[in-house]
Amino acid sequence: MKRIRLLLFVIGVLFLAACGQEDTKEAANATDENVIKVGTVPDSFPVSFKEEDDLKGFSVDIVKEIVEEAGYEVEWVTSDWNGVLANLQSGKVDTAINFAATPERGETYNFTEPYYSSKAVIATAEKNDTLNKVEDIEGKEIATMMGTNFENVLAAEFPDLDYELITYESNDVVYTDLASGKVEGLIYGREQLLAQISERELPLRIVGEPFGDQPVALPFQKTEENDALIEELNEATNRLKENGKFSEISLEYFGVDLLEDEK
């Protein structure tokens, strides 16, 4: 009889333990479902960069506001750009910032509405007097940053221009080479360049006028669950644009309201 009671007691303990584990799993899953893992690089001022171990930047602040406005939390995952792409493809992150929403990438991912569009421009050294308009890059070595899509914008706008394209992985290196004349020009976003030139007092200038837009949005794997999440994030983005938060962050980092470009 004692053995039977002992067996029933053990079974009861195991049952309660199993229930406790299930409750823990459900709590963990509920927590995970409320968190959006976002991939980014830590060295792309002013859109995403680390300052005293704190992740900051225009895209960092904007995306954090969007996610929280939609009722979620952000978990940042930093790596180099190749790591960001690998994590996105493997599902180690849910989405990524500073991601150009191109038709080619649209074959793999579904995108939120762009949270901003960067104006494509050419930059050169202040002392360089050979580049005064975009067409002047003919026959010259022109830099581009890995992970950006501005070279495709340039090719679409000026399909007959012939130049040598050099891809850089580091912002610091490309700015040094550009200022020294090692490369004649850089294809990049106007907003990022204006902030870099102002903040770091770089001896660079922008050539002529912007020649195209590059929409930037949040990519997600193509699933019904993600499509529903995208709708929530789009609604949150619109609310931030309407209540002035978007303009506030834009002015903080760029000194201009990017919403004005959309009007």
* 145 contacts 192 by C-beta, under 8 angstroms: no
| Proportion of the chain above pLDDT 70, given as a percent | 87
pLDDT, position 262: 58
Cα(205)–Cα(198) distance, integer angstroms: 11
Instruction: Give the residue from 250, 252, 212, 222 showing the smallest Cα distance to 115.
Output: 250
* Residue 211 tokens, joined: 């020649």
Kindly tell me if the per-residue pLDDT of 112 is higher than 50.
yes
Q: How far is CA 184 from CA 57, 67, 242, in A?
A: 28, 40, 41
Which amino acid is it at 31?
T
pLDDT, position 205: 95
pLDDT, position 261: 63
pLDDT confidence tier of residue 3, bands split at 50, 70 and 90: very low
Residues 99-105 have a mean pLDDT of 91
The tokens 């979620």 sit on which residue?
Answer: 72
**DSSP letters for 184-208:** SEEEEEHHHHHHHHHHHT-SEEEEE
- Each residue's pLDDT tens digit, 151-198: 999 999 999 999 999 999 878 899 999 999 999 999 999 888 988 888
pLDDT, position 172: 84
- Each residue's pLDDT tens digit, 39-65: 999 988 899 999 888 999 999 999 999
Q: What is the 8-class DSSP label of residue 21?
A: H
- In this structure, the strands spanning 116-125 and 73-78 are unpaired
- Each residue's pLDDT tens digit, 13-38: 444 444 444 443 333 333 467 999 99
* Residue 105 tokens, joined: 């990438």
Q: What share of the chain is helix, strand, coil (3-state, %, to 5)?
A: 45, 25, 25
107-145 core/surface letters (b: 16 or more CB in 10 A; e: else):
eebbbbebbbbbbbbbbbbeebeebeebebbeebebbbb
Instruction: Give the residue from 8, 95, 101, 84 showing the smallest Cα distance to 44.
Output: 84
- Each residue's pLDDT tens digit, 64-95: 999 999 999 999 999 998 999 999 999 999 99
All residues at 6 or more sequence positions from 165 whose CB lies less than 8 Å from its CB, including other chains: 142, 143, 144, 151
Cα(249)–Cα(8) distance, integer angstroms: 63
Residues 195-209 have a mean pLDDT of 90
